[in-house]
Structure 1
């Protein structure tokens, strides 16, 4: 504020120079009119010197501001302005007083009166950013002048003295008012500047502000590191707890982020749940800063009475001097994108290889979108056999992509990309409807199972309504549709997903927990989830004939599932030895390559009609012998 007020004193150097020249000429003219009075000539010389002093002060001020980042002494320039203003006022007062004293009835007195009144009239508009300067100016020039006018005892001069006194009083008042208006306007401009450069929620720099600072630093050939920080699964937190909790979380994270910074570091909120840190630290120090941010933010925090665990992912890039700010930001985003792909609460440092990988990912996403439009996706079906009857009772629909150039693309490759981009919502809906329509041609006791992703349970994608519409449109009985979820699905938003599963189950749709045994809390999910079936992961199947521990775990799991009234399906059976061991357990379904590989709908129909193909009957027949453990069969299990 002080620097801006002082700047106003030096805002108009031209008029001050012209004014000094004019007053000097007036004083010279007075000397000529008075018959070459040396006093007037002396005053003119002093005024000329003072004018040069004020001009030099302005030039010095301009040079001080010409060097970016140079120290600026506002108090010094304020003192220089005071000397110039008060010196001018004293010379003009001396000029008018001397003229009225020596030549009260001559034209030179009129010239002095005109000059003094004109000077007084211009003071209020000159230095109103500093009222003290203006008021002393008015007193120095106006008080002696008024007294000199009154001392002549000439009625006209006395009247002018009264007018000058009144003008002086009004100038005092108007100076204060103008100053307050100036300060108010300046504060308004400051507030607008703050709004333009500050994030209103967190009070950190906003995107505009930090980009300008980054651009200036890179333009000055200075290397800097950028840390792109993004809150993991913020949308889920926002949807679950509400926007007020989400905003409070962002504020809390911004405060933690700011606490990690050192001198010269800048933090900004780029928008939404994304933050940026710019620092002049070297590469190693920047990475250490990123790790400190991960550690401090990635802890449990209390937000509006709720305990919320929030983590962030960080992309780090060291931007070399002269690099365009857009390119630096792109690299930071690429590193962040990689950090998000590698998992939550993770950091990645940018390397040129990441750009190549990122471009490949973008090309893959384009191909994925084009494949959806071109209908390149198809479903294949893998039957699940009842170990007692040897018949197919359930069929799992599996998504496949045969790309014209890439060839057959593994689901392990394209499904994560579809989930990350949100395309899985459209693709998943297509898969459910296609599978349901295929099941219409199967025997009534054969159901279809379809995998669903966590993204399909998001609030902007009402899976329950979509499934209901598909069943209503196709006429397939809900009990013939099974939706498979994994434990990782529940990590995103367990309460919302569980509520959706309850609605689906109430509709008659069966729910299966896929890949059981690979998560960290499988047993707890058995108690809380509204599920009908658990599918034992293939990691158990592959070791069932060689590991005593796996056998013990299988025994415990099957016993527990039977007590809970859950059906059990084992997947991934690939050898006769694995199949033979499985006969010791009480199972409701067996799935694996040794029984049947995923196949087309047409091939599946042939197997279903013949109940079991002859080359598989011998294998399944071994399992139709009495099981070692009695099965408490649920009514809905065929």
Structure 2
């Protein structure tokens, strides 16, 4: 930056070296050329930006070009045609267009978007211009006028130069003040250039009015500096586009900027009056105009402050991502409704598995999901209901429609489950929704606690559900909180262990595989069954950590088991893990660490996971590309997925135990299983019967064509070392 400033200042050096020589007048050709060439970087800067800033840089380039062409006209008449250059002339049109176009250009570049801010900047420039004109008139210009100018027009044009420059310089100062540190150099270069232009124009006006101006004198150096600095600013803007602070907060010196020079002008006039010098029209008129402009600026400031106050209040009470109310506004509305005695209810929801979406697809995708959830809440609830985002994936609605809450909650769940396009992926949302109604005596804090408990009760139902608060929920919530903390500690301490159950070939009774099952031996409550702690892990967001722990331990133990070369390892995975984009790579890394081949691992996913086809199918395909086999667990109990089955990259289907238990006494179950076996064989899937408990069931399944089974007949879950590597003897233990 320093070398650019030095280069710009050096551009004016030739004037001082050549001033007073025979070639001094020819320096005007240099300033003309520099002004025209200075338009090129400004046009290049315009190509780097969009909107009003692009037009602003173009106007700055046009102003530079117009000054250069006007100066060429002057130089041609003086140096080539040797004709007397009248004043004012066509050259002055080009000269005066520069401050007018540059002022408009800087105004657009600065991005003052509101009418109030634009008007304030314009008024500041005009007030400063009026004030400095009064000061200049009192100190020097009156004397020049009284000495005599060629004409009123000539005098007016002479004065127009410094006045226009002052307005331009004021706008430039305000622009530079709003630039951010990374691009402040551009604003400072523009200020340097306009300072040079102002100095030269003021001296030109005084010398022209006095009839003493000579082309090429020292005062012309400011023009060289001006256009060199404008060119440098344009070049710098092509590398680092200028950026501004749009907070709307004004520094104290910016507020005082127009008043200080106007106050000085008033002091000068007051001193002149005390000295017995008459205040004439050129002083009185600008002072009156300036006073009127100050009144307009005060009005503009009041309007701007009012707008800023409204904007700050909106920011303080609204979520910036979704535009919904935030917690503060929600609580304010809640207190107001309760104090007024209005019957109210709170709908509180937490998006299911949002953390997994955020972590696997990225925060931008998470933002898309949150905005979509906000829009669907707006579609479900309307004014005077208050819809708020509390933060993260938590939303709340304050409503006076207390009689049809369950129907509203069900409609909301259906709306949320509609597909959301997130880039190339489609996501279906679900939520756990709590409902609580004020009975007229419930306070704000108690009502919020009640709806929180209802939401956790909805999560306990398996997510994508709603629950209405009941007093009995308080005890269940306390138990849930305690169990979560103890499970989190158990994971940290490695207190969970694995049990393995054999999967047997029904023909020769050899062990075809083993299924790893997590077990938790609680120090106080004894054995905590998986159907208790697995849902708790899901609700607490611990299922990813738990699932990976089970997978790593199972692979490590299986690799040391003597029968691992002739059998496979089957491990259950949660649907929540399947929407984690990094899950396949974690599985591959675990196999590598344990020294297992991908073909030795089968991952079991529950049938209900098939409902979220778009979210899991990509993960399933990547796993199978690694060589890992996929099993659909508990088939026939959940989502009606027969018509989707052939779309999924699965290898094994595990038939739920309820079909097997009915086979001995229900002929319909026999026909169903026989049909399923034919279907699975036709589409290339291996069927495994679960829950085999006696030899009769095993015999009937073998007759139907079932080749693989699992159940207490062949062994209960236990240590892996207890499973025989040879044929398994039928036993119920």
Query: Do they superpose with TM above 0.5?
Result: yes
Partner of residue 374 from structure 1, selected from 485, 493, 499: 493
CA positional deviation for 1:535: 1.6
- For residues 545 and 616 of structure 2, what CA distance do their matches in structure 1 show? 18
- For residues 488 and 297 of structure 1, what CA distance do their matches in structure 2 show? 18
Aligned twin of 1:92: none
Aligned twin of 1:224: 344
- For residues 548 and 376 of structure 2, what CA distance do their matches in structure 1 show? 41
- For residues 368 and 301 of structure 1, what CA distance do their matches in structure 2 show? 33
CA positional deviation for 1:411: 0.9
Change (3 A) 1:583 1:257: closer
CA positional deviation for 1:262: 5.6
Aligned twin of 2:686: 567
Partner of residue 454 from structure 1, selected from 557, 568, 575: 575
Partner of residue 537 from structure 2, selected from 418, 424, 429: 418
Is residue 612 of structure 1 aligned with residue 728 of structure 2?
yes
Change (3 A) 1:570 1:377: same
- The answer on whether the counterparts of 2:503 and 2:710 sit within 8 Å (CA) in structure 1 is yes
Q: Report the number of matched residues.
A: 454
Aligned twin of 1:491: 611
Aligned twin of 1:17: none
CA positional deviation for 1:449: 1.6
Aligned twin of 1:505: 624
User: Per the alignment, in what secondary structure is the counterpart of residue 448 of structure 2?
Assistant: helix
User: Per the alignment, in what secondary structure is the counterpart of residue 553 of structure 1?
Assistant: helix
Aligned twin of 1:317: 436
Change (3 A) 1:178 1:249: same
User: Larger C-alpha radius of gyration, 1 or 2?
Assistant: 1
- For residues 302 and 441 of structure 1, what CA distance do their matches in structure 2 show? 46
Is residue 360 of structure 1 aligned with residue 479 of structure 2?
yes
CA positional deviation for 1:362: 0.7
- Gap regions ≥5 residues in structure 1: 1-155, 620-638
Change (3 A) 1:473 1:208: same
User: Per the alignment, in what secondary structure is the counterpart of residue 597 of structure 1?
Assistant: coil
CA positional deviation for 1:545: 1.6
Aligned twin of 1:442: 562
CA positional deviation for 1:428: 2.0
Mapping of residues 228-627 of structure 1, within 5 Å: 228-234=348-354, 247=367, 250-251=370-371, 253-261=373-381, 264-281=384-401, 283-284=402-403, 286-287=405-406, 289-290=408-409, 293-294=412-413, 310=429, 312-319=431-438, 325-439=444-558, 440-443=560-563, 444-459=565-580, 462-492=582-612, 494-495=613-614, 497-604=616-723, 607-608=724-725, 611-613=727-729, 616=731
CA positional deviation for 1:365: 0.8
Aligned twin of 2:332: 212
Change (3 A) 1:304 1:184: same
- The answer on whether the counterparts of 2:674 and 2:705 sit within 8 Å (CA) in structure 1 is no
- For residues 558 and 286 of structure 1, what CA distance do their matches in structure 2 show? 45
Q: Residue deviations 1:87-109, cap 9 Å, x none?
A: xxxxxxxxxxxxxxxxxxxxxxx
Q: Residue deviations 1:272-311, cap 9 Å, x none?
A: 4432222345x42555654554566565688999987555
- For residues 447 and 394 of structure 1, what CA distance do their matches in structure 2 show? 4
- The answer on whether the counterparts of 2:573 and 2:604 sit within 8 Å (CA) in structure 1 is yes
- For residues 509 and 286 of structure 1, what CA distance do their matches in structure 2 show? 46
- For residues 362 and 495 of structure 2, what CA distance do their matches in structure 1 show? 39
- For residues 500 and 301 of structure 1, what CA distance do their matches in structure 2 show? 18
Aligned twin of 1:65: none
User: Per the alignment, in what secondary structure is the counterpart of residue 203 of structure 1?
Assistant: coil
Q: Residue deviations 1:136-164, cap 9 Å, x none?
A: xxxxxxxxxxxxxxxxxxxx9x9999999
Change (3 A) 1:291 1:549: closer
Aligned twin of 2:262: none
Give the alignment's TM-score, normalised by structure 1: 0.63
- Gap regions ≥5 residues in structure 2: 1-275
Structure ranking higher on relative contact order (CA contacts 8 Å, 6+ apart): 2
- For residues 375 and 322 of structure 1, what CA distance do their matches in structure 2 show? 47
- For residues 452 and 547 of structure 1, what CA distance do their matches in structure 2 show? 32
Between 1:435-444 and 1:189-198, the stretch displaced more is 435-444
Q: Residue deviations 1:574-619, cap 9 Å, x none?
A: 1233123123122331211122222223322xx335x334x54xx9
- For residues 420 and 561 of structure 2, what CA distance do their matches in structure 1 show? 54
Change (3 A) 1:464 1:344: closer
- The answer on whether the counterparts of 2:714 and 2:728 sit within 8 Å (CA) in structure 1 is no
- The answer on whether the counterparts of 1:279 and 1:286 sit within 8 Å (CA) in structure 2 is no
- The answer on whether the counterparts of 1:220 and 1:321 sit within 8 Å (CA) in structure 2 is no
- The answer on whether the counterparts of 2:360 and 2:579 sit within 8 Å (CA) in structure 1 is no
- The answer on whether the counterparts of 2:426 and 2:614 sit within 8 Å (CA) in structure 1 is no
Between 1:378-387 and 1:327-336, the stretch displaced more is 327-336
Change (3 A) 1:307 1:503: closer
Change (3 A) 1:277 1:407: same
Is residue 184 of structure 1 aligned with residue 309 of structure 2?
no
CA positional deviation for 1:570: 1.1
Mapping of residues 12-51 of structure 1, within 5 Å: none
CA positional deviation for 1:258: 3.5
Q: Residue deviations 1:321-359, cap 9 Å, x none?
A: 675544432322221222233245533221221121111
> RMSD of aligned C-alpha atoms?
3.6
- For residues 503 and 424 of structure 2, what CA distance do their matches in structure 1 show? 48
Give the alignment's TM-score, normalised by structure 2: 0.55
User: Per the alignment, in what secondary structure is the counterpart of residue 352 of structure 1?
Assistant: coil
User: Per the alignment, in what secondary structure is the counterpart of residue 359 of structure 1?
Assistant: helix
Change (3 A) 1:230 1:364: closer
- For residues 428 and 629 of structure 2, what CA distance do their matches in structure 1 show? 32
Change (3 A) 1:277 1:167: same
- For residues 467 and 159 of structure 1, what CA distance do their matches in structure 2 show? 90
Change (3 A) 1:166 1:297: same
User: Per the alignment, in what secondary structure is the counterpart of residue 205 of structure 1?
Assistant: coil
Between 1:264-273 and 1:547-556, the stretch displaced more is 264-273
- The answer on whether the counterparts of 1:199 and 1:269 sit within 8 Å (CA) in structure 2 is yes
Change (3 A) 1:447 1:333: same
- For residues 619 and 505 of structure 2, what CA distance do their matches in structure 1 show? 29
Change (3 A) 1:543 1:252: same
User: Per the alignment, in what secondary structure is the counterpart of residue 229 of structure 1?
Assistant: strand
CA positional deviation for 1:314: 2.7
Change (3 A) 1:531 1:332: same
Q: Residue deviations 1:173-202, cap 9 Å, x none?
A: 432221112211221122111121123343
